[in-house]
């Protein structure tokens, strides 16, 4: 279709308006409904865990434009190149590549188009047959940090509430599990205290195991803004074995040898104590323990100092490959008195054998220096997916957890959830089954007969992926997705899903934030929202099993108020009379029920009404207990005593812990005393209201190089592509910019092998091999190569490690350190 | 319908994508940067604000816009280039 001049002028005016506003100029007001026929609606970006707020332009039922929302407190109107590609991801191959009809694999391996009724009946019949024959643990759900919270919640209710299995896992296990373990071991509760706002007042910014400039570019833009505004005051430290663009920007790059960062972090703690940068006042609110877990022996600062003697920078510089003076400088910048410090990290720490320990070590630095709970100070784990926090960590989308940061093994927690779900307490599973990779191992063994994989591509993303693709092919595997990919091609049933703004939902990001995604266009042909799919299967399964749900019809603003109850087969959301009358969506019904399960918990989203989520760019940050329209929660989960006095003008005995939550502050102002804690509850003795500094003896990753396999393989993402490339490889610009996987190899290694950029080299691990073109670059380091995993035609995860000994204490696989040999191809 | 993994197809580009952006000059070099921007084909300067120079850009493809952006970003007198709006409707049709 040709763009007419008037229309073209309209688009240019829109572009000019956005640019002028972002440049700090006044610009002519643009109506939300433009005369160019484009209507803008609000959503959250579909890609990473930053959660940039975007305005999505729709014309003639199609997404045609996108711009950053200038009102967003996250991205302030900016977007990255992936964000600007959002319209393209919906219409891959000119729209012809979307999955649009349910498919069932036939005996000859071809797929037959079937009706939704046939597909859903087949799924329900098969699942019920296995449940009745082999028990509830013979079926499983494998979801995603890209599911909306309502989808994840519906699946959780179906599998744990109706079927009664804890076989609920998802790809966040491969992504954020170690971070959860770190927060739990240190603070007794998951998720960070601070928020993105801390970047804007941070003096030292410590980035470890994260290529923010490429993978969280809008957050890194805030780092650049802060550094540019105060170039002499702000110091950026990057610890990374690769010289990434993030590292190149840093004032100090600690290019440590792969696998040795536990030594590096202990050395920084050593310097902080040795050079007297400890905040002794703050240590009153901390306790020291040996090792991880609930049985750690108690120690004091002197014992901790003694423990660190082996990790003086001069003693670890050979191990880490980092000059002792650089380690000292990093620690001095981190600990300097009168300055703030913020740490950020992602997969470089999480996807590691020692993932939980590394997270705790970063927390240690903040606790020792008291640089936490104050503006500009936080230990902030960045998430990789747009709803890993909301849909999985908060909603309880893994085998061992339940909604509202509850534990499956806790009978009281199970009882609370069963009550809200309207299912018998006895129907709930009592014990976790196993984490993600273990789930696929049980699929391979045949213990799990049927699995539903939703919005994720494990045949490409699991470690040693070919092994599990085979297992998926043999089992009854249902895959819901938008495009054909490595996992759909091993599916028994493929369900075509609606994506992003073709459906509505809520997503929750890194800094305890939940945002609303508005439905703006219809999905193509017969594609349907995953939420609908889950509800339809749930209705069929519950009816076949004869298990009704007592669904509570709740007040929309104050869902604690139950207006009526009905007995239904299924999850109940589509049976709500207001949904049937078209007065509210079933997704809102699910969200309101979920809000009740967060009430009174640390992750309190009770106040996050649909009305608020729709109205506010950037959504709501928990804790948000109040339904008052203007209350959008808090950018600080916990604030320091000094800050509380300064802001609220008072100090009370109950603040003796040194910390008060804004949650409690709000509750107190509302006349509700509420408990006042420092973070969560530990199982350790003498830790009430305290955070735990862990003395952790460094270990190396499970698979370090040896004589047979002398190189380290590191894997990760690239700026142009996201995860397995299912979406971004369908965007021409991104595909042309980065069309295929390659190997980053250091010039010194390339010389030894006699290879130049573009020539092929072979990588061989104990599990598999691959041939890829070389990119000779100093981004790598001698003895370490890097390969991205977006390329479905070159599966680097055929080489990565899947054995349980390589998992972190939170069962997250190690994708960062895997031994290989390298040869000319 | 092909049931094999779809071959990714190159889309025909028929018309011109449009973008809006903010160019942040090195302090004291605003005039020079603005003058240079005005001389670039496909770039319209819409004005200068506290946070930078507002421009609208047109190119034959988004890739061409990307190259133009990178060219500007690499100027010595430019601190930052921020894309804030992109219309690609011709490319998604």
B49 and A228 within 8 Å at the Cβ level: the answer is no
Spell out a b/e string for A185-208, using b for 16 or more CB atoms within 10 Å of the CB, else e.
bbbbbbbbbbbbbbbeebbbbbbb
Whether the CB of B82 is below 8 Å from some CB of chain A: the reply is yes
Give A6→chain B minimum CA distance, Å: 14
ipTM score for this prediction: 0.82
Task: Tell me the CB-side half-sphere exposure of residue A630, using CA atoms within 13 A.
Answer: 0
Give B47→chain A minimum CA distance, Å: 7
Does A183 lie in the same domain as A168? no
Of A657, A679, A701, which residue is a domain's last?
A: A679
Contact residues, chain B, for A90 at CB < 8 Å: 92
Residue in B22, B51, B92 closest to A62 by CB: B92
Tokens 């812990």 found at? A657
- Please answer whether residues A505 and A154 qualify as being in contact, where contact means their C-beta atoms are separated by less than 8 angstroms: no
The three-class DSSP label of residue A181 is: helix
> Is the residue at A608 inside a domain?
no
B18 and A88 within 8 Å at the Cβ level: the answer is no
Return averaged pLDDT per consecutive 10 residues of chain A, 825 residues in all.
Answer: 53 78 64 64 94 94 91 90 88 89 93 96 98 98 97 98 98 95 90 92 97 91 89 96 92 97 98 96 87 87 97 98 98 97 97 97 96 89 95 96 95 97 98 97 98 97 96 98 96 97 97 96 97 98 98 97 98 98 98 94 90 94 84 73 55 42 49 45 66 94 96 93 91 84 96 94 96 94 96 94 96 96 94
Does A280 lie in the same domain as A196? yes
Give the best residue of A1, A3, A19 to mutate against chain B (max B CB count within 10 A).
A19
% pLDDT > 90, chain B: 23
* pLDDT value of residue A351: 97
- Please answer whether residues B33 and B77 qualify as being in contact, where contact means their C-beta atoms are separated by less than 8 angstroms: yes
- Please answer whether residues A145 and A152 qualify as being in contact, where contact means their C-beta atoms are separated by less than 8 angstroms: no
Peptide bond into B83 cis (omega under 30): no
| Gap between the Cα atoms of A342 and A194, Å rounded | 9
For residue A763, the domain's CATH number is 2.40.40.20
B51 and A483 within 8 Å at the Cβ level: the answer is no
Contact residues, chain B, for A792 at CB < 8 Å: 5
* pLDDT value of residue A651: 47
B92 and A77 within 8 Å at the Cβ level: the answer is no
Instruction: Enumerate the β-bridge partners of residue A713.
Output: A785, A818
Give B72→chain A minimum CA distance, Å: 15
Whether the CB of B56 is below 8 Å from some CB of chain A: the reply is yes
Give the best residue of B14, B88, B91, B93 to mutate against chain A (max A CB count within 10 A).
B88
Does A136 lie in the same domain as A234? no
Residue A530: its H or E element: helix A530-545
Residue in B22, B87, B88 closest to A22 by CB: B22
Supply angle C-alpha A603, A188, A378, rounded to 5.
75
* pLDDT value of residue A26: 63
* Cα-based distances in Å from A121 to A15, A102, A135, A451, A536: 49, 12, 20, 15, 9
Q: Is B42 exposed, middle or buried (0-12, 13-18, 19+ CB in 10 A)?
A: middle
* pLDDT value of residue B26: 83
Does A225 lie in the same domain as A130? no
B84 and A483 within 8 Å at the Cβ level: the answer is no
For residue A45, the domain's CATH number is 3.30.200.210
Contact residues, chain B, for A24 at CB < 8 Å: 49-52
| Gap between the Cα atoms of A351 and A176, Å rounded | 8
Give B8→chain A minimum CA distance, Å: 6
Does A374 lie in the same domain as A426? no
The three-class DSSP label of residue A61 is: coil
| Gap between the Cα atoms of A617 and A627, Å rounded | 17
Does A322 lie in the same domain as A361? yes
List the one residue out of A527, A525, A482, A520 whose CA is nearest residue A503: A520
A23 and B53 within 8 Å at the Cβ level: the answer is yes
Question: In the sheet where A298-299 sits, what is the strand order?
Answer: A298-299, A286-290, A691-695
Reported residue count of chain B is 93
Residue in B8, B22, B90 closest to A19 by CB: B22
- Note down the domain range covering A82: 5-89
Query: For chain B, first and last CA: distance in Å?
Result: 20
A65 and B44 within 8 Å at the Cβ level: the answer is no
Contact residues, chain B, for A87 at CB < 8 Å: 88-89, 92
* pLDDT value of residue A289: 93
Provide the 8-state DSSP code for A301: H
The values of phi and psi at residue A747, to 5°, are: -55, -35
* Chain B residues 17-36 within an 8 A CB cutoff of chain A: 18-22
Instruction: Enumerate the β-bridge partners of residue A745.
Output: A776
Instruction: Tell me which residues of A are annotated as active site.
Output: 82, 175-176, 347, 384-385
Of A553, A577, A595, which residue is a domain's last?
A: A553
Contact residues, chain B, for A2 at CB < 8 Å: 15
Joined tokens for residue A123 = 């799924």
- Please answer whether residues A219 and A212 qualify as being in contact, where contact means their C-beta atoms are separated by less than 8 angstroms: yes
Does A312 lie in the same domain as A297? yes
| Gap between the Cα atoms of A604 and A608, Å rounded | 9
Of A362, A381, A400, which residue is a domain's last?
A: A381
Q: Where does the pLDDT of residue B1 fall: very low under 50, low under 70, confident under 90, or very high at 90 and above?
A: very low
* pLDDT value of residue A6: 56
The dotted CATH code for B18-92 is 3.30.70.920
Residue in B5, B63, B84 closest to A68 by CB: B84
Number of domains in chain A: 5
Instruction: Enumerate the β-bridge partners of residue A564.
Output: A553
Does A332 lie in the same domain as A215? yes
Does A343 lie in the same domain as A304? yes
Joined tokens for residue A545 = 């099993």
Give B5→chain A minimum CA distance, Å: 6
> Is the residue at A605 inside a domain?
no
Quickly list DSSP for A352-391.
STTHHHHHHHHHHHHHHHT-SSSTT-EEEEPPSSTTIIII
Does A332 lie in the same domain as A241? yes
* pLDDT value of residue B9: 32
* Cα-based distances in Å from A677 to A281, A365, A416, A658, A810: 17, 21, 22, 9, 25
Does A264 lie in the same domain as A162? no
The three-class DSSP label of residue A586 is: helix
| Gap between the Cα atoms of A534 and A221, Å rounded | 38
For residue A536, the domain's CATH number is 3.40.50.740
Q: What share of chain B is helix, strand, coil (3-state, %, to 5)?
A: 25, 35, 40
Whether the CB of B37 is below 8 Å from some CB of chain A: the reply is no
Whether the CB of B93 is below 8 Å from some CB of chain A: the reply is yes
Whether the CB of B74 is below 8 Å from some CB of chain A: the reply is no
* Cα-based distances in Å from A251 to A17, A334, A379, B77, B80: 36, 13, 20, 21, 18
Joined tokens for residue A223 = 């780092």
């Amino acid at each position: 279709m040709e763009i007419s001049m008037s229309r073209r002028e309209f688009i240019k005016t829109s572009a000019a308006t956005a640019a002028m506003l972002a440049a700090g100029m006044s610009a002519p007001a643009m109506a939300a409904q433009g005369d160019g026929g484009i209507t803008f609606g609000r959503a959250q970006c579909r890609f990473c865990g930053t959660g940039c707020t975007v305005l999505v332009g729709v014309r003639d039922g199609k997404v045609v434009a996108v711009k950053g929302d200038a009102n967003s407190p996250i991205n302030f109107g900016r977007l990255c190149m992936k964000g600007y590609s959002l319209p393209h991801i919906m219409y891959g191959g000119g729209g012809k590549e979307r999955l649009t009809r349910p498919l069932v694999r036939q005996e000859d391996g071809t797929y037959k188009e079937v009706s939704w009724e046939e597909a859903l009946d087949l799924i329900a019949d098969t699942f019920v047959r296995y449940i009745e024959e082999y028990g509830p643990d013979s079926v499983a759900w494998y979801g995603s940090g890209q599911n909306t919270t309502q989808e994840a919640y519906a699946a959780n209710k179906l599998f744990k509430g109706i079927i009664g299995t804890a076989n609920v896992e998802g790809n966040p296990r491969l992504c954020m599990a170690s971070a959860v373990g770190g927060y739990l071991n240190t603070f007794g509760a998951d998720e960070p205290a601070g928020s993105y706002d801390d970047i804007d007042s941070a003096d030292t910014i410590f980035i470890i195991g994260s290529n923010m400039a490429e993978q969280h570019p809008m957050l890194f833009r805030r780092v650049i803004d802060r550094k540019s505004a105060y170039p002499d005051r702000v110091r950026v430290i990057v610890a990374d074995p690769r010289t990434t663009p993030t590292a190149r920007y840093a004032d100090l790059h600690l290019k440590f040898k792969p696998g040795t960062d536990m030594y590096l972090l202990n050395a920084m703690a050593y310097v902080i104590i040795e050079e007297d940068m400890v905040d002794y006042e703050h240590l009153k609110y901390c306790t020291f323990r040996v090792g991880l877990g609930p049985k750690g022996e108690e120690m004091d600062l002197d014992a901790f100092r003694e423990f660190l003697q082996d990790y003086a920078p001069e003693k670890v510089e050979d191990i880490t490959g980092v000059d002792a003076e650089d380690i000292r400088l990093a620690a001095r910048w981190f600990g300097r008195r009168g300055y703030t410090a913020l740490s950020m990290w992602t997969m470089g720490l999480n996807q590691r054998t020692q993932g939980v320990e590394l997270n705790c070590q970063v927390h240690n630095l903040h606790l020792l220096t008291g640089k936490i709970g104050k503006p500009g100070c936080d230990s902030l784990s960045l998430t990789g997916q747009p709803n890993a926090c909301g849909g999985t960590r908060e909603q309880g989308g893994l085998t061992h957890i339940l909604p509202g940061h509850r534990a499956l093994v806790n009978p009281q927690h199970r009882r609370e959830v069963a009550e809200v779900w309207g299912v018998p307490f006895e129907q709930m599973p009592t014990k976790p089954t196993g984490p993600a990779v273990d789930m696929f191992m049980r699929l391979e063994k045949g213990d799990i007969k049927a699995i539903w994989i939703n919005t994720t591509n494990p045949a490409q993303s699991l470690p040693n992926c070919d092994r599990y693709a085979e297992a998926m092919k043999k089992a009854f595997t249902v895959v819901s997705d938008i495009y054909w990919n490595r996992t759909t091609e091993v599916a028994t049933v493929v369900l075509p899903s609606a994506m992003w703004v073709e459906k509505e939902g809520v997503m929750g990001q890194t800094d305890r934030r939940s945002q609303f995604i508005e439905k703006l266009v219809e999905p193509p042909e017969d594609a349907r929202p995953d939420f609908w799919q889950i509800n339809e299967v749930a209705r069929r399964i519950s009816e076949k099993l004869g298990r009704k749900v007592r669904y509570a019809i709740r007040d929309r603003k104050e869902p604690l108020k139950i207006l009526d109850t009905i007995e239904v087969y299924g999850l109940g959301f589509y049976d709500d009379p207001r949904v049937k009358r078209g007065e509210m969506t079933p997704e809102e019904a699910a969200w309101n029920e979920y809000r009740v399960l967060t009430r009174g918990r640390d992750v309190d989203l009770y106040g996050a009404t649909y009305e608020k989520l729709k109205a506010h760019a950037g959504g709501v940050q928990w804790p948000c207990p109040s339904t008052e329209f203007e209350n959008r929660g808090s950018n600080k989960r916990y604030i320091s005593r000094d800050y509380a006095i300064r802001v609220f003008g008072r100090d009370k005995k109950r603040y003796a812990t040194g910390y008060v939550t804004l949650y409690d502050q709000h509750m107190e102002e509302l006349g509700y005393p509420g408990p006042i804690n420092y973070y969560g509850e530990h199982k350790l003795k003498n830790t009430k209201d305290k955070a735990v500094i862990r003395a952790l003896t460094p270990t190396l990753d499970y698979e370090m190089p040896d004589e047979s396999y002398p190189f380290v393989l590191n894997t990760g993402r690239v700026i142009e592509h996201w995860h397995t490339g299912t979406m971004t490889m369908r965007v021409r610009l991104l595909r042309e910019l980065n069309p295929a996987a390659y190997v980053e190899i250091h010039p010194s290694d390339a010389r030894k092998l006699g290879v130049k950029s573009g020539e092929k080299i072979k990588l061989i691990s104990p599990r598999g091999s691959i041939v890829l073109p070389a990119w000779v670059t100093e981004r790598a380091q001698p003895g370490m190569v890097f390969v991205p995993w977006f390329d479905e035609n070159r599966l680097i995860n055929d080489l990565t490690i899947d054995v349980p000994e390589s998992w972190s204490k939170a069962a997250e696989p190690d994708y960062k350190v895997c031994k290989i040999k390298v040869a000319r191809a | 319908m092909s049931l094999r993994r779809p071959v990714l197809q190159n889309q025909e580009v028929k018309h011109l994508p449009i973008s809006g952006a903010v160019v942040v000059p090195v302090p004291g070099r605003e005039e020079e940067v603005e003058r240079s921007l005005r001389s670039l084909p496909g770039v319209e300067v819409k004005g200068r604000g506290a946070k930078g120079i507002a421009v609208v850009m047109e190119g034959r493809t988004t890739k061409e816009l990307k190259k133009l952006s990178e060219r500007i970003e690499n100027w010595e007198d430019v601190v930052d280039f921020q894309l804030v709006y992109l219309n690609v409707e011709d490319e998604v049709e």
